[in-house]
Structure 1
Amino acid sequence: MKKSVPIFALRVRSSILLWILYTATHATSVSVHIVNGTVQGVTDNDSGIEKFLGIPFAEPPVGDRRLRQAIALEQSFGTLEADEFGPSCISAKDQGPESEDCLTLNIWRPSSVAKANVSLPVLVWLYGGSLTSGYTADPRNEATAMTRISSEIGKPIIVVSVNYRVGPFGCLNGAEMTELGLLNLGMLDQRLALRWLQDNIEAFGGDPAKVTLAGQSAGAVSIYSHMMAYGGRDDGLFRGAILQSGGAFPLTAPNTTAFQSTFDSLITNTTCSPLANSSAADKLKCIRSLPLEEFEAKVGPSTGQSVDGGFTRTSIQRALPAGQYVKVATIVGSNTDEGTTSAPSGVNKTEELVDPVSRGFFRPQRLPNETVSALIDLYPDSPRLGCPYNTGDIPLTPGRLDKKACSIFGDIVQVGPARMIAQTLAQDGVPVYRYRFNHLGYNTSIVSRGITTGSELPYTFSNNVPEYAWDQNLAYQMTAAWASFAHDLDPNVGKAVPGLPHWPRYGKEANTIVFNGYGSSIQPDNDRSDGIQYIIDNVLTDGAM
């Protein structure tokens, strides 16, 4: 069982001596005053960046506040030592210290902000992790380099990352949660953080009218969920979006058999079992009193976003054609070999593909047999044409048709949704920029996964990039493009960063930039056009509310 640690206890456990030594040589303190108190961060003198880490933006969702909508922080924290990340929200993975008291955010800004008395655009990062894991302390997403590079190219921004609840703490469903209006809590955590920024980011030198949301995988899904929230209502919380490898999963009602079973497990498998026939309110009262260890040990596996009639009213593949979304400038992208994270392996016969394709990846219901058959026929058997792409006939996994399976699953889960979103936004006249990440890092250890989901993250933030000229240069270019988009809603950095071609909007030509350390290029977005269009027309919409 993973150990849960209170948020302030974590800070006490820090090595005070090491921190004093570091501060004396590399950092100095800096303070910002907001409604709840004084936030005391640190200045990284080597990079010229000020960091304010682990700032609570909500009342702790613990005790009677477990499984409730988070509320804005009411108490004063006096002077907050904001010099390290708060604990991660409890998740399905071991990702360091965790706690239910996890609703914090982090802010990076150029040191020059306070002196210049300016208001800078803001990029807000939402991590991925299938809505079951993820954390802001992930070293891939540390934003010092991004903030520094934004200043170096003359387009300074402030970067913010947000912790939000995941798994059964943030995405629990069931009839009882529906009755009490307690669905999609993790995404509502994000929404509350965005409102916190509207009230507080000016104190840090940020412009609340110039917020761009960025995220990968479930983070990207979260962002387009905010775009279509409340039927596409524009609350003025953001003006741009960056969607990295987001899916377009068919959403369902919150009381499906799997969702309900997960909720019921917290009653029938725990000391709450005498309340099996009680009211929804009584059941939740008991669940909130369960020891954390018992809750984690007994809860079922099926959690996720659902249609709640308020924040989430329909699936993205329904909302976009209906125009029910906030129309903001958007970057939408995917990686070349997405399917290696979602496809089955050991597939040797076409018949062995039928069942996994029918069940899909996070699908609420099986695809019809005729849809499955037609889709499989649109993808060639030849491994030379499969995923991971550009690897010839070399078998990288046991099955003869594994590359075909990877092609199909990658297109269903990420590539098809990215193309669908880009096409629809462009048709609606929304400025949209499409990319494909096509670079295999020099230190790649698992070649069989290729350029898979998440491969772009180190390059987006210029963190943990191989000490290799081509990798370092690509990272700088991509980080600069992301910062430029947050600053101007245009990813083109011009002469400030040589080597990148002009990145055109995605229009009738369907042009996309293909990022590669050995030379990026502009290409039409037409890979596997028949298969992906079939997915857009017949697969993504199947079963979606």
Structure 2
Amino acid sequence: MPRFSRLFATTTWLFAASGSIVLGATSVTIGNGTVVGVSDHINGVEKFLGIPFAEQPTGRLRLRQAVPLQESFGTIQAQSFGASCFSTRDNSTEQSEDCLTLNIWRPTNASTEPLPVLVWLYGGGLTKGSTADPRFEGTSLTGISQKIGKPIILISINYRLGPFGFLNGKEMAELGLLNIGMLDQRLALHWIQENVGAFGGDPRRVTLAGESAGAVSIYSHMMAYGGRDDGLFRGAILESGGAFPLTPPDTGVFQKTFDSLITNTSCSSLKGATATEKLDCIRDLPVDVFRSKIGSATGQSIDGTFSPTSIQRAIPAGKYLKIATIVGTNTDEGTTSAPTGINETQQLFGKVAEGYFRPQLLPNETVSTLMSMYSTDPSKGCPYNTGKFRFSPGKLDKMACSIFGDIVQIGPARMIAQNLAKDGVPVYSYRFNHLKSNATSISKAIGTGVEQDFVFSNLIPEQPWDQQMAFQMSATWVSFAYGLNPNGAINETGLPEWPLYGNEASSMVFNGYGSWIETDTYRSEPVQYIIDHVLSDGAS
């Protein structure tokens, strides 16, 4: 299909008192109707916000796989973000069940050739997150793509969270309704294939990027259906993604969460009913009742189709989509996931055994061996390079941060890089090592998620080292999306040449005062022990 066969665009300008063009309306027509967005003349970007990509997942469609839009929506004013999906941990944005929307940014004066597409999946543990998060506003990143001569289309996707997107239990398994939040993403990727051409994008050149649970989502799509290639994307950027052991959907804690919607609501008379009868009743519950009565244990599980196994099994077995990948972490990841107030090794022992989103306790021998590889000296702990200073009262808190950071993010990233390199897949590794000048939580240091402001160049401080770091990150991510080569804008960024991970385990260290290449072998002994003995424990 020719690029503009379904594209009808008009623009209406708004003028400032000086007569200069400020904002205007711009429209694109696709199969389901006309989308009226905003044209930002100053930044050279057009944006279309809150575009529905599925039927409203409410009523009879609650707790079902997302259904493609069936009818025309006529003309929609796509000039503000749609409602966020209900979160279990954050109420900072307008939230609704009717939340399956996406957002598109494109350069105003793009090339006449179809443009590569970068798709963003937010993190939040599959329980919170939203495309309306101001950190992910795409104007700056899209504008930079035009400035460096590598224009791209940027898209961000909402998907269902917590019990709305990741409810488990034997009933959900019986009806084939597991991991529907991931399948929301999958449907959005199909929507992009069908519609991005109308916005000037090239559906054959799609790259996925995401942080934390967003990165987990992306490698889940890489492993989906045993690594089947549905032609939905050709590249991946994994920022601080974990590698949590997946379990079957009918574990005790998962089943307890599902049962809470029966035993604690007007559905209590259906305890012995069929799965279909139970789900019919749950779908009729008022949303506030659903939210208040549901248990807390939700998440991705083994479903036999989309998620046939855990990443710890799929990657070493080669059952994944072998595409060019960037994978990386931040220096002080453990400050986000580790327990604090730890003063005794025995106290830490129990916490390490319990782990972070683990389905079962680690064996005592594994915990003992792992802990023996980390120093109790706070000067050697995380946050790194902070000497003996403690940011929380526990004597062993910095040791705990080292262990948890290595288990939750550092080990998984290294495992992915090692295996992709072994399979001959182009993989680039990085460590983000820059703390912005106005950081509000020094105790977290360069912890999980801090790189996102830099990737999107959405920084408030004007210090040159912060702004330069942001430009370098944005330009590098854009270059990878444009041509699967992060070095495509090296002349503009001034960064060193970023080599493939390869047998040398080469990795980029991003730092606003001067980035460099290192060998990815820091804490090699404990991290390798984690890869070999901890990550796979309990994984199905």
Instruction: Tell me if both proteins adopt one fold, taking TM over 0.5 as the criterion.
Output: yes
In the TM superposition, what is the alpha-carbon distance from 1:94 to its structure 2 partner? 1.1
Q: Distance in 2 between matches of 1:532 and 1:419?
A: 8
Distance 1:495 1:334, change over 3 A: closer
Q: Which SS does the other structure have where 1:274 is aligned? A: helix
In the TM superposition, what is the alpha-carbon distance from 1:447 to its structure 2 partner? 1.1
Q: Distance in 2 between matches of 1:122 and 1:95?
A: 29
Aligned twin of 1:29 = 25
Q: Distance in 2 between matches of 1:42 and 1:441?
A: 31
- Superposed CA deviations along residues 106-125 of structure 1, whole A, max 9, x for unmatched, are 00001123xx4320000000
Is 1:291 aligned to 2:318, yes or no?
no
Code of the residue aligned with 1:111 in structure 2: it is T
> Where do 1:109-508 residues align within 5 Å?
109-113=106-110, 116-508=111-503
Aligned twin of 1:105 = 102
Code of the residue aligned with 1:108 in structure 2: it is W
In the TM superposition, what is the alpha-carbon distance from 1:26 to its structure 2 partner? 2.0
Q: Distance in 2 between matches of 1:42 and 1:36?
A: 19
In the TM superposition, what is the alpha-carbon distance from 1:494 to its structure 2 partner? 4.2
Is 1:76 aligned to 2:59, yes or no?
no
Q: Distance in 1 between matches of 2:492 and 2:539?
A: 43
Code of the residue aligned with 2:235 in structure 1: it is G
Q: Distance in 2 between matches of 1:476 and 1:50?
A: 20
Q: Distance in 1 between matches of 2:16 and 2:175?
A: 51
Aligned twin of 1:90 = 86
- Superposed CA deviations along residues 369-418 of structure 1, whole A, max 9, x for unmatched, are 00000000011111111000000011111011110000000000001000
In the TM superposition, what is the alpha-carbon distance from 1:499 to its structure 2 partner? 2.4
Q: Which SS does the other structure have where 2:80 is aligned? A: coil
Q: Distance in 2 between matches of 1:262 and 1:24?
A: 57
The 10-residue stretch of structure 1 (460-469 or 184-193) with the greater mean CA deviation from structure 2:
460-469
In the TM superposition, what is the alpha-carbon distance from 1:448 to its structure 2 partner? 1.1
The 10-residue stretch of structure 1 (529-538 or 392-401) with the greater mean CA deviation from structure 2:
392-401
Q: Which SS does the other structure have where 2:84 is aligned? A: coil
Q: Which SS does the other structure have where 1:209 is aligned? A: strand
Q: Which SS does the other structure have where 1:112 is aligned? A: coil
Q: Distance in 2 between matches of 1:324 and 1:108?
A: 33
Is the contact made by 1:39 and 1:80 (CA closer than 8 Å) also made in structure 2?
yes
Code of the residue aligned with 2:223 in structure 1: it is M
Q: Distance in 2 between matches of 1:212 and 1:501?
A: 23
- Superposed CA deviations along residues 245-292 of structure 1, whole A, max 9, x for unmatched, are 000000000000000000000000011101111000000000000001
Q: Distance in 2 between matches of 1:94 and 1:21?
A: 36
Code of the residue aligned with 2:227 in structure 1: it is G
CA RMSD of aligned residues (A): 1.3
Is 1:43 aligned to 2:39, yes or no?
yes
> Where do 1:9-24 residues align within 5 Å?
none
Is the contact made by 2:15 and 2:22 (CA closer than 8 Å) also made in structure 1?
no
Q: Which SS does the other structure have where 2:414 is aligned? A: helix
The 10-residue stretch of structure 1 (486-495 or 71-80) with the greater mean CA deviation from structure 2:
486-495
Percent identical: 64
In the TM superposition, what is the alpha-carbon distance from 1:25 to its structure 2 partner? 5.6
Is the contact made by 1:174 and 1:255 (CA closer than 8 Å) also made in structure 2?
yes
Distance 1:362 1:495, change over 3 A: closer
Q: Distance in 2 between matches of 1:248 and 1:204?
A: 35
The 10-residue stretch of structure 1 (363-372 or 75-84) with the greater mean CA deviation from structure 2:
75-84
Is 1:522 aligned to 2:526, yes or no?
no
Code of the residue aligned with 1:511 in structure 2: it is S
Q: Distance in 2 between matches of 1:340 and 1:82?
A: 38
In the TM superposition, what is the alpha-carbon distance from 1:20 to its structure 2 partner? 10
Is the contact made by 1:165 and 1:186 (CA closer than 8 Å) also made in structure 2?
yes
Q: How many residues get paired? A: 525
The 10-residue stretch of structure 1 (174-183 or 116-125) with the greater mean CA deviation from structure 2:
116-125
Q: Distance in 2 between matches of 1:139 and 1:537?
A: 39
Is the contact made by 2:375 and 2:399 (CA closer than 8 Å) also made in structure 1?
yes
In the TM superposition, what is the alpha-carbon distance from 1:446 to its structure 2 partner? 1.6
Q: Distance in 1 between matches of 2:253 and 2:432?
A: 35
Q: Which SS does the other structure have where 1:67 is aligned? A: coil
Q: Which SS does the other structure have where 2:302 is aligned? A: coil
Is the contact made by 1:434 and 1:511 (CA closer than 8 Å) also made in structure 2?
yes
- Structure 1: which 5+ runs fail to align? 1-18
Is the contact made by 2:475 and 2:489 (CA closer than 8 Å) also made in structure 1?
no
Aligned twin of 2:10 = none
In the TM superposition, what is the alpha-carbon distance from 1:497 to its structure 2 partner? 1.7
